[in-house]
């Protein structure tokens, strides 16, 4: 009787495995994966949408729909405050689908998503330094971008956060009676607080200046 039960259970497991394989979807048109992903996003099924996006990318790497899909799912993750996932998709977009026309926009969204992620993880010092670096690079590369003032604001806020980090470390060394180390970090914080970026005004055509 015991052997019969074991054989019965094995048969059920084999049948279930075969059934699940039959339900696996593959080799579908790009529009199928695209529409499926949009439907999953509309139902807030982001994990499923990620899987569907992977299928679209794997089967249709050169599809014109891939760029749109990448941006849509990135912005959905950002809306749901899943900033690291959003940043992953922005990176994918920049690598595979970006054009010169919207490059600064995607770079701005990347900086913004990292900034928001940092505000949720206040003690992530590595993320802070990376975001400061990317913000500074944006300011240098796209001084005339329509997003420049937003990035400059983010950059200034991050510098203040960095100064606060350094001052907290200074106070920690003061508490453990290490005045030399405390002074080093206090000086770093002071230097950042008094840091002044030379920001040039964006050139505005004379015919726009009349209305602005």
pLDDT in tens, 70-127: 999 999 999 999 998 999 999 999 887 666 778 899 999 999 999 988 765 556 788 8
Amino acid 56: pLDDT: 96
Average pLDDT on 32-55 reads 95
Amino acid 117: pLDDT: 87
Residue 48 confidence class, pLDDT cut points 50, 70, 90: very high
Amino acid 21: pLDDT: 44
Amino acid 10: pLDDT: 47
Residue 163 confidence class, pLDDT cut points 50, 70, 90: confident
Mean pLDDT of the chain: 80
Average pLDDT on 133-155 reads 94
HEC letters along the chain: CHHHHHHHHHHHHHHHHHHHHHHCCCCCCHHHHHHHHHHHHHCCCHHHHHHHHHHHHHHCCCCCHHHHHHHHHHHHHHHCCCHHHHHHHHHHHHHHCCCCCCHHHHHHHHHHHHHHHHHHCCCCHHHHHHHHHHHHHHHHHCCCCCCHHHHHHHHHHHHHHHHHHHHHHHHHHHHCCCHHHHHHHHHHHHHHHCCCCCCCCCCCCHHHHCCC
Average pLDDT on 33-59 reads 95
Amino acid 69: pLDDT: 95
For the cut 50, the answer to whether the pLDDT of residue 200 exceeds it is no
Amino acid 121: pLDDT: 53
Amino acid 195: pLDDT: 54
């Amino acid at each position: 009787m015991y052997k019969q039960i074991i054989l019965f259970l094995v048969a059920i497991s084999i049948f279930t495995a075969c059934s699940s394989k039959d339900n696996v979807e593959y080799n579908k048109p790009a529009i199928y994966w695209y529409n499926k992903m949009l439907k999953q996003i509309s139902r807030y099924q982001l994990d499923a949408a990620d899987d569907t996006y992977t299928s679209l990318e794997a089967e249709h790497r050169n599809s014109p729909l891939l760029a749109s899909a990448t941006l849509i799912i990135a912005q959905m993750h950002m809306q749901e405050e899943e900033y690291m996932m959003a940043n992953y998709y922005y990176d994918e977009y920049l690598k595979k689908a970006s054009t010169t026309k919207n490059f600064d926009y995607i770079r701005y969204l990347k900086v913004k998503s990292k900034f928001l992620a940092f505000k949720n993880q206040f003690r992530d010092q590595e993320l802070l330094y990376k975001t400061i670096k990317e913000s500074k690079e944006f300011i240098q590369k796209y001084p005339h971008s329509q997003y420049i003032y937003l990035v400059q604001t983010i950059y200034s806020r991050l510098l203040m956060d960095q100064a606060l980090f350094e001052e907290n470390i200074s106070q920690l060394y003061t508490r453990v009676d290490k005045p030399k180390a405390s002074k080093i970090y206090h000086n770093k914080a002071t230097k950042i607080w008094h840091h002044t970026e030379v920001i040039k005004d964006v050139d505005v055509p004379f015919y726009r200046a009349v209305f602005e």
